Structure formats: structure tokens, C-alpha cells
Amino acid sequence: MPLRRGGERLSAADASNVVMDSRDQVNVFLMAGLLGVGGFVSPDGALEVDQVRRSIADRLAAGVGSGLARFSERVQGEGRALSWERCEPDLTWHVRVSGPVDGLPGLAALCGALMTTPLPVDRPLWELLIVPGAAVGRPGIILRVHHAVADGVAGVRLVQRLFGSADDLPEEKPATPRTEAARPRWTTTLAGSVSRLTALFRTTVPPTVLLGPIGPQRGVAFAEVDLGTLAAGARTVGASVNDALLAAVAVATEAALMADGQPVPKVLPASVPVALPDRGRSGNAVGVMMVALPTGEADPMVRLTRIAQITRTAKAEARTQGTYELTRTRWGTQLFAWLARRQRFIALFVTNVRGPEAPLMIAGAPLERAWPVAPIQGNVRLGVAAFSYNGRLGCAVHVDAAALNADLLGQALGDELARIAAP
């Protein structure tokens, strides 16, 4: 694969995601989906994968203008000198058929296995798997992209550019440098840095199976709910869809702990990423919102109201503080990763990304359902990711399978989302 030397240097946020990657905690964004019949998927279930490769090759051929430039680049260099280098992708490897699975549970299990499978560093950091057996006569798909290429928001844009119609593609905006007026005062930045660093040493989570070394066996389970009815249910108490997701995660976590005879903390501090407007050409631009999810509350609307009150303030603070200061340098990122494996400040991860409203097509086959899977990192054994698409909110639970039951969590999560959405 020929290289063009002297490529664009990785942003601090993108580089930190390379540094934080490890064999036991692979730093990838993953989208699983279920396809319908059409295009490369014939009515008898046969798959013409070369059609998918040709479709993606056409998208990638547009280069930078397509918004998919990172799909034809790999990371080169060592130390602080990491850069994006042009690299012709081998689509026979990047787009391929996996072994068959047994329905949606099999698709979820494959997602779990891929969360501990590193992407090859000598190739562009992505792959698209066509997965036979995900449904009767219909395949699933798994798109896996390294976090250095994209966070959740940027990942959705990549999905749209790969599989959306020309009329529905998001506009490719030129990068605009921040003005000096937009930069926070150094005193504000220093104060925020000290506050967030010392927070990592605080013990706010009592001993719990939710925290500890993350093992190699992962569990993944899917849940989903009608997006319109969920939004309507949340609005009855002035809450958002994201608030409803957080409330349902609290209930599901409590149910899983109780079913296993584990103690339930009075609150579950959740780390929730918040998209930042100042992205430039970086694939990553998120702040972190901390939300103390209450447990022991029988009334779902009381819980939802309390969470909505917390997030109104926490979201604004997260956007003001921006990315973690420690992750803006290589040594800081390494220190942050070391601390993250020992912290007792965060109990779980929850992320929710607004997906495309228009239906997506993969070489003529409709993407009918979609679920995102986010990494679990540090010593946090539970993560929940959500993605709105085609009128549904698709959610995926990702856990250390030796510590938590993904299927139980997924069932409880879906049940509580339906409870909030009930008229």
C-alpha cells in the first residue's frame, strides 16, 4: 500500500485515542445493523459483496470532499509525531463476509468479541462485516471504526456519507480556527483542570461489581423503543430523550445488581459525553457530563424529573470545560489511562447520539435497524450506547461478561424505556 509522507498531524484529541488503545480495551466505535432484501441482498439470501465494495469505492474516490478521507489513511509515527498518511485501502479486506451467526443474539455476541479484537495498525482503521444469519433470510452488518477516526457524532456523519443518498448527505463544513475571544481564560482552564484531576482521586462509588479490572469476555445485548412515544413520555415532565435513557439505565443497572445479589449504591455516577461545537478537522470533540443517577425510586417520572434537573446544568458545564485537559498531551493521556483503571469516581458510561433521520441503503439493501456499541474502558465494566434511526432508539449494553449479565440488563433497559414511553 503506497504512502504519501508528510501527512496531516493528528489533533490532540485524536492522538489521545491512539495512545489509550490497548489489547484488552480496544478503542473503537461500532455500529451493528440488520439489513432488508434488496440490492446486494437477494430474496434467496445470496450476497453479492462485490456490489458493496464497488459502492464504497465510489464514495471513497471523492476523497476529502466526501468527508471520508480518514477511510483512506492510516496512522504513522511514534511518540508525539503521529500523522495521517495516505494509504490505498484493500476493500477485499475492509469489506468482507463473517462467519454465520444465530440470530440477533449471535450478532450481539460477535460485537462483544470484536470489542477485544484490535484493528490492524498497518491499514486504515475501519472495517465493514456482512454477517449472515442475523435474521431469517437477511444478513446483519457491523461497521467498526477506531475512535481516533471518529467519536459518536463524527461516526454518525461517516455512516451517512457511506450509506446515505446524495440528497441527504450532511454538509461538509470547512474547518474554522477558534478566535482568541472564544478561548477560555487560562485561569478558568487551570481551575477546571485541577478540579477534574482531583475528582479522579475521589471515592464516590462504594465497593461494587460495576468497578474493577475488565476481563476479556464481553457481553453485548440490544434494546430498542419507538422514538416518538419515548420523546412524548419524557416531555410530560419536561425531560428529554437522553434523560429518559439515563433513567432507564439506572433502573436496568439496579435490577441487574439486585438479581445477582449485589449491593446497590444510592446513586450511580454516570459519565455522559457531550458534543462540542468546536471540532475543526478532528474526529473527536466531546466534553464529559457527570450525572448522579438515583436508585431506589419506584416512580419512573419522579426519577426522570430529578435526572432532567441535573442534566440542564451539567450539560452547559461540560461544554464550557471541553475535553479533559490531561488528554491533550501524550504523557497526560498515559497518566489519565493509568488513573482511569483505578478511579472510584464513575460507575458507568452512557452515550446517546442522534442518528440520521433518512433511511440508509447499503449497496441497495435497506438498513432496517441499527444499534451502536461503545467501548468500556478503565475499570468501568458497564457501558450503554444509544442511536436514533428511522423512528427508533436503538440501544446496546456492553459489559464485562464475568461481572454482569448483558441479557438481563438489555431486557430491563428495554422494559423501562417502554414504561416511560407508555401513554
What pLDDT is recorded for position 207? Answer: 92
What pLDDT is recorded for position 117? Answer: 94
Which CATH number goes with the domain that contains 134?
Answer: 3.30.559.10
Residue 174 maps to a domain: no
- Could you write out the three-class secondary structure of the chain? CCEECCCCECCHHHHHHHHCCCCCCCCEEEEEEEECCECCECCCCCECHHHHHHHHHHHHHCHHHHCCHHHHEEEECCCCCCEEEEECCCHHHHEEECCCCCHHHHHHHHHHHHCCCCCCCCCCCEEEEEEEEEECCEEEEEEEEECCCCCHHHHHHHHHHHHCCHHHCCCCCCCCCCCHHHCCCHHHHHHHHHHHHHHCCCECCCCCCCECCCCCCEEEEEEEEEHHHHHHHHHCCCCCHHHHHHHHHHHHHHHHHHHCCCCCCCEEEEEEEEECCCCCCCCCCEEEEEEEEECCCCCHHHHHHHHHHHHHHHHHHHHHHCCCHHHHCHHHHHHHHHHHCCCECCCEEEEEECCCCCCCEECCEEEEEEEEECCCCCCECEEEEEEEECCEEEEEEEEECCCCCHHHHHHHHHHHHHHHHCC
What pLDDT is recorded for position 181? Answer: 39
Residue 386 maps to a domain: yes
CA of 311: how far to CAs of 30, 56, 163, 286, 304, in Å? 26, 39, 33, 16, 11
Number of domains in the chain: 2
Residue 176 maps to a domain: no
Q: Are residues 356 and 409 in the same domain?
A: yes
What pLDDT is recorded for position 422? Answer: 85
Distance CA 32, CA 89 (A): 22
Distance CA 257, CA 409 (A): 9
Q: Are residues 195 and 344 in the same domain?
A: yes
β-strands 365-373, 28-35: how paired?
Answer: antiparallel
What pLDDT is recorded for position 157? Answer: 85
Residue 178 maps to a domain: no
User: In this structure, are residues 348 and 380 in contact, taking their beta carbons and an 8 Å threshold?
Assistant: yes
Q: Are residues 265 and 400 in the same domain?
A: yes
CA-CA-CA-CA torsion sign (190, 193, 197, 202): positive
Q: Which of 296, 243, 222, 267 is nearest to 421 (CA)?
A: 243
User: In this structure, are residues 339 and 379 in contact, taking their beta carbons and an 8 Å threshold?
Assistant: no
Q: Are residues 148 and 201 in the same domain?
A: no
Look at residues 133, 168, 203 and tell me which one is the last residue of a structural domain. 168
Distance CA 151, CA 230 (A): 25
Reading the chain (423 residues) residue by residue, the pLDDT tens digits are 333 445 788 877 787 778 777 778 888 989 999 999 999 999 998 999 999 999 999 999 876 556 788 999 999 886 567 889 999 999 999 999 999 999 999 999 999 999 999 999 899 999 999 999 999 999 999 999 998 888 777 788 889 999 987 666 655 554 444 443 344 444 444 444 545 555 555 668 899 999 999 999 999 999 999 999 999 999 999 999 999 999 999 999 999 999 999 999 999 999 998 866 554 554 445 578 889 999 999 999 999 999 999 998 877 776 555 444 445 565 666 677 778 888 889 999 999 998 888 899 999 999 999 999 999 999 999 999 999 999 999 999 999 999 999 999 999 999 999 999 986
Look at residues 136, 168, 200 and tell me which one is the last residue of a structural domain. 168
User: 79 phi and psi, to 5 degrees?
Assistant: 60, -130
Residue 158 maps to a domain: yes
Q: Are residues 389 and 316 in the same domain?
A: yes
Look at residues 142, 168, 194 and tell me which one is the last residue of a structural domain. 168
Residue 41 in grid coordinates? 441482498
Q: What is the pTM of this model?
A: 0.87
Residue 309 maps to a domain: yes
User: 387 phi and psi, to 5 degrees?
Assistant: -155, 120
Q: Are residues 238 and 193 in the same domain?
A: yes
Radius of gyration (C-alpha) of the chain in whole angstroms: 21
Domain containing residue 151: 3-168
Distance CA 54, CA 76 (A): 27
Q: Are residues 67 and 194 in the same domain?
A: no
